[in-house]
């Protein structure tokens, strides 16, 4: 089973979904992983009801960071800012489907960090992506 997940990760790394800068967007954020040099920028367009209509990203990085962000972008359509903030590390780790070592955890969670930062309107802490699902603290801090 791990081989299937590894193949999926390589597919998303070689052909990331939702990759590139869109013409229009409402929320954006960029950040990097200082430990290995991954850099990503996320763009989110909201519809009239404040839900994710389109999402895209660009940047460079290792297979884990690129694949994790690509997989994450496929899951965001229709979510509100509050729902974006409620996503936790387990959501991304489940998408990847393999065990991630402690040294690669920031790679795997960079996309989640920048999505949450875009929803917050400022930089999320690295610890924020570990918040339990449904934890209202981030949304409360953002005033949404």
pLDDT band at 135 (very low <50, low <70, confident <90, very high): very low
Cα–Cα distance measured from residue 80 to residue 97, given in angstroms and rounded to the nearest whole number: 25
Q: Does domain 2-123 have CATH number 3.90.1010.10?
A: yes
pTM: 0.85
Q: Compute the distance between CA of residue 57 and CA of residue 44 in angstroms, rounded to an integer.
A: 9
Classify residue 125 by its DSSP letter: P
Neighbouring-strand partners of residue 46: 52
Tell which phi-psi region holds residue 75, choosing left (phi > 0), alpha (psi between -120 and 50) or beta. Answer: alpha
For residue 136, is pLDDT > 50?
no
Query: Which residues lie closer than 8 Å to 69 by C-beta, 6 or more apart?
Result: 16, 40, 42, 57, 110, 111, 114
Tens of pLDDT along 11-61? 999 999 999 999 999 999 999 998 889 999 999 999 999 999 999 999 999
């Amino acid at each position: 089973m791990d081989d299937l997940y590894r193949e999926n990760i390589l597919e998303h790394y070689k052909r990331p979904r939702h990759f590139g800068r869109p013409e229009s967007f409402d929320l954006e954020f960029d950040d990097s992983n200082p430990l290995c040099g991954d850099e990503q920028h996320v763009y989110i367009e909201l519809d009239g009801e404040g839900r994710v209509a389109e999402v895209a990203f660009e940047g460079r990085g290792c297979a884990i960071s690129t694949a994790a962000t690509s997989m994450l972008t496929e899951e965001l359509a229709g979510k509100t800012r509050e729902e974006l903030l409620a996503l936790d590390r387990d959501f991304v780790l489940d998408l990847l489907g393999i065990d991630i070592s402690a040294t690669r955890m920031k790679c795997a969670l960079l996309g989640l960090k920048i999505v949450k930062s875009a929803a917050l309107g400022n930089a999320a802490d690295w610890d924020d992506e570990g918040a339990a699902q449904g934890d209202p603290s981030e949304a409360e801090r953002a005033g949404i």
